Structure 1
Amino acid sequence: MLWACILLPQLAMDGVLRHCADSQAPLVLLAGPPQRRILQAVNPAARALGLRPGQALTAAQALTTEFTTADYDQAAIDRWQRFLAAWAYGFSAQVSLRYPRCLLLEVHSSLGLFGPWPVFEARLREELTTLGFQHRITAAPNPAAARVLANARDGLAVFDDKELLQALHPLPVARLGLPEAAATAFSRMGIRQLQQLLALPRDSLAKRFSAEVLLHLDTVFGRRPLALEFYSPPDVFDTRLELNFEVESHQALLFPLRRLTADLAAYLAGRDSGVQRFTLHLEHRNQADSLVVVGLLSAERDAAMLFEFSRGRLEHQQLSAPVLAVRLVARDLPPFVPQHQQLFDERPQQSQPWEQLRERLRARLGDDAVYGLTHRADHRPERSWTQDEIKTPLPTCAPRPGWLLVEPEPLSESGLRILSGPERIESGWWDGGDVRRDYYVVETRFGQKGWAFRAVGSGQLMLHGWFS
């Protein structure tokens, strides 16, 4: 087997930075009681100002005030780890959250789908970078070894036990994941590397140290299996993004909206499903949330399209009060069926499929502004159709114009040429709308093609529609 370890060394910082419009601005995460706030983590821009983890907030403010702060939230770290587990579920059915700020994936069974490990690894890195998370990725024959190798070097991959021994032997004992007391004791004994530790008699180690030491070493070398509980993605996507200030315009909501829809797309890809309906909750102070419901006619999961649909609906929403947070909830998650395409697509690259254009128009103009047509069992042209969902095609029949006039208009016969006809339509005697007409396909002297009729017994030609 082959296991991959994705270590997320700055998960707390990345979770905050991905919600900031300027990710390069100095930022520090604070921990500790209100009386003594401590810098728990700093980004590179803050480090360049002389700020360091463990520094008191008062000391940092004495150096500079050109940085922003956020709380170091353990609950947020756990939430982001579960979010990334849902993303990783799209690559492997066996995803574990056993270690903090780390994902374990069984990838051997996925190589046939995603390609050899270098290609697979490159895809993982690309998507993690797009999502905004720093990472270290290693691979090993067992999950415990993969986690230990992540402490050694990013990108390290071994595929058999012999290579694993060679990679593990020079590792520092302090980076093996041993209990802290045991690691400290080995350091005082002058044992710095794993190969020195393995040279000690096993019986002596068992007598002098807890059983956890030998158990951990056996697990790392694959002699004992590591019991893992595998992650199962939830059936509901529910994510909330708290804003740093009160937002009063739609434009300022676009950045958090783009991030939320991108997260939704990553979650859907992991579940191999789409979304057909979701709700945006715009949270205000001291009043009920404003709801923006986004409903689609078919399942979708493309991040750009989900953002575009949401943006169109959001722009029609009147903000009754400043927005403090945005929450996205998606419960209707049907299976996603990709659109079938021709091998040689003759569609211009700048155009888009009809399904996406349809949803874009509905988002911009409203649900009632875009509709389809369906036939009605009536021969009278003005009553032979009705509005319907954009799914039912019209039946094939004699040529009919694409533009039917609201009221027929008199048509001059000067220079007019009859192309076909007459086609008699006689109907409606039962409802008081009796018509008796002879229809013709005509062409004007300007080349326009129309649809005209004469009432039976009358000589006046009436225009009823134009052909495209």
Structure 2
Amino acid sequence: MATGGLNAAKHWLCLVPRRLALDALCLPDPETTLVTMRKGQRSWVVSAGCGLPPGSDLATVLTARPELRWVERQPDAETAYMQQLAALGHSLGAPVHLEQHAPSVDAPAGWASVWVEVGRSARLFEGLEGVRLAAQSNLAANSLNCGVAIAPTMESARLLAAHSDGAIAPSLPALSDMMQTLPVHALHLPGQVIDGLRASGIQRCDALFALASDQIGRRYGTATTRYLDRLLGRVAETRAAHRLPRRFEKRIRFDGNVHSTQGLRFPLRHLFGALELYLRAIDSASQQVRIILEHVDAPDTHLTVSLTASARDADHWLLMCREHLSRLELPEAVSAIVLHCDRFQPLDGPQMALFDAGKAEETAWRQTVERLLARLGEDAVWTMGLADDHRPERAWRRQHPANQQSSGVLPPAADRPLWMFDPPRPLPHSPKLAGPAERIESGWWEGNELRRDYFLATGDSGMRLWVYQDRRSRRWYLHGLWA
């Protein structure tokens, strides 16, 4: 358990989704969509892109606005959206807390919040203003529609995020001044309590705060008193700390099937954005992800995207994924897409170019190789690596560019040409030797014994040659040369 409150030195950043049920669906045209919920015989609007208030009766809205379309809310998608916000929180500070409540009659839109204590990490962002700007920048980059605020208590941070986006209250006195003019309906209190306050003539928070705690308890219940105590930092707030899952998995279900790979680019951008936030939160990167395309009447399509070096940038992953999709033929329309990642490594990439300008060129080369792999296939692109064998023709092997570490090591004194003949070319006469012999005897355990004496030699035009004499036949062969 983690505790917040009773401590003016703490600063809580809160993220409050403005239209969670709608944004969680990742729709390309949310402005004409209503997200609804049904309980009993009544269906109401939970979230709407056109500005309709939550709680509006669905039948009434469709009668007046027949051009709008409606979809049922997806609780799993909302949970995944909140996990994405929590991952963003983990990249800003610790601990992180998450609360989420489904829509109800009293709260037709439901509510959800993510808090992160940023007091100790604020100096890394050059102050609380820097933390707020970093949070808003990450939200904008990932199309996450949230209110943001920083305050000394968790309840006050949520209140400001919902009604004073971007506000920063650095202390309890500053917080009290900021909340004076807020209307009482902004407080996170049950509807009957808000109605009772208004009936008593209490319209703003300053009038409510002027009442004694015992008087508020008698009139509006002890739950209201406890809420105000948490809001103003009089008592501690205790909530379970959020923990990131050990693997990343996010699914987007489409409202209508997608018939081409072009239509997958929009949801993939959201998925890779969520993956980047997760990888930043765990301070890691990945070299491989799996994509599952779900179909209604056909087996799922599985796609693996691999890189030559670990990365976490969403745009880079999306670029590589597009190359794979360009070669893919869909067996059927896609009804949902899943992004899965469970293999993590430290980030392998340039962090500073001050002392190593060559890192940028290395990164560009890696990206070129990755695009070739994605476009041509895993078997079409390879590099050379060393093998544990003394026989020159077997001392190398093909390997994937992502695994360039050799399994064998050449002797320090060995001098080998890059241009090798396969098979070695017979020489009509003894060459002009230019160095001592190197004896290689190997392969006897396979029934293909090799017994050779290798020499450096000089050709007629002065070219350096690598030749050997077969110790059994005594014949000479040209095996390689230096350019």
Choose from 381, 392, 400 the match for 2:416: 400
| Offset, 1:452 | 5.2
2:260 is the counterpart of 1:254? no
| Offset, 1:454 | 7.3
| Offset, 1:52 | 7.0
Q: Structure 1 residues 436, 318: CA separation in 2 closer, same or farther (over 3 Å shift)?
A: farther
What secondary structure, in the 3-state scheme, does the structure 1 residue paired with 2:120 have? helix
Count of residues paired in the alignment:
449
1:372-416 CA-to-partner distances (Å, cap 9, x unmatched) read 4114442x532333345411275344543333333446899xxxx
Aligned AA for 1:370?
W
What secondary structure, in the 3-state scheme, does the structure 1 residue paired with 2:170 have? coil
Choose from 168, 171, 177 the match for 1:166: 177
Q: Which residue of 2 aligns with 1:373?
A: 385
| Offset, 1:202 | 3.9
Aligned AA for 1:439?
L
- Does the 8 A contact of 1:27 with 1:68 survive in 2? yes
Q: Structure 1 residues 208, 428: CA separation in 2 closer, same or farther (over 3 Å shift)?
A: closer
2:289 is the counterpart of 1:283? no
2:242 is the counterpart of 1:241? no
Q: How does 1:134-283 map to 2 (within 5 A)?
A: 134-283=145-294
Aligned AA for 1:251?
Q
- Does the 8 A contact of 2:285 with 2:344 survive in 1? yes
Decide which moves more: 393-402 or 453-462: 453-462
Q: Which residue of 2 aligns with 1:85?
A: 86
Decide which moves more: 96-105 or 33-42: 33-42
| Offset, 1:123 | 0.9
Q: Structure 1 residues 196, 298: CA separation in 2 closer, same or farther (over 3 Å shift)?
A: same
Decide which moves more: 71-80 or 222-231: 71-80
Aligned AA for 1:8?
P
Decide which moves more: 326-335 or 30-39: 30-39
Q: Which residue of 2 aligns with 1:3?
A: 12
TM-score (structure 2 length as normaliser): 0.79
Q: Which residue of 2 aligns with 1:391?
A: 405
Aligned counterparts of 1:423 and 1:346: Cα–Cα separation in 2: 42
Decide which moves more: 221-230 or 396-405: 396-405
Q: Which residue of 2 aligns with 1:28?
A: 34
Q: Structure 1 residues 58, 278: CA separation in 2 closer, same or farther (over 3 Å shift)?
A: same
- Does the 8 A contact of 2:287 with 2:343 survive in 1? yes
- Does the 8 A contact of 1:90 with 1:270 survive in 2? yes
- Does the 8 A contact of 1:19 with 1:259 survive in 2? no
| Offset, 1:132 | 0.8
Q: Which residue of 2 aligns with 1:439?
A: 456
Decide which moves more: 104-113 or 360-369: 360-369
Aligned counterparts of 1:411 and 1:233: Cα–Cα separation in 2: 67
Aligned AA for 1:404?
M
What secondary structure, in the 3-state scheme, does the structure 2 residue paired with 1:92 have? coil
Q: Which residue of 2 aligns with 1:97?
A: 98
Backbone CA RMSD of aligned residues: 3.7
Aligned AA for 2:385?
L
Q: Structure 1 residues 152, 297: CA separation in 2 closer, same or farther (over 3 Å shift)?
A: closer
1:119-156 CA-to-partner distances (Å, cap 9, x unmatched) read 11111101111111122111111111212223442111
What secondary structure, in the 3-state scheme, does the structure 2 residue paired with 1:386 have? strand
What secondary structure, in the 3-state scheme, does the structure 2 residue paired with 1:191 have? coil
Aligned counterparts of 1:373 and 1:462: Cα–Cα separation in 2: 23
Aligned counterparts of 1:34 and 1:409: Cα–Cα separation in 2: 87
- Does the 8 A contact of 1:373 with 1:394 survive in 2? no
Decide which moves more: 350-359 or 191-200: 350-359
User: What stretches of structure 1 of length at least 5 have no aligned partner?
Assistant: 413-417
2:18 is the counterpart of 1:12? no
TM-score (structure 1 length as normaliser): 0.81
Decide which moves more: 29-38 or 144-153: 29-38
Aligned AA for 1:137?
V
Q: Structure 1 residues 381, 74: CA separation in 2 closer, same or farther (over 3 Å shift)?
A: closer
Q: Which residue of 2 aligns with 1:415?
A: none
Aligned counterparts of 1:163 and 1:326: Cα–Cα separation in 2: 47
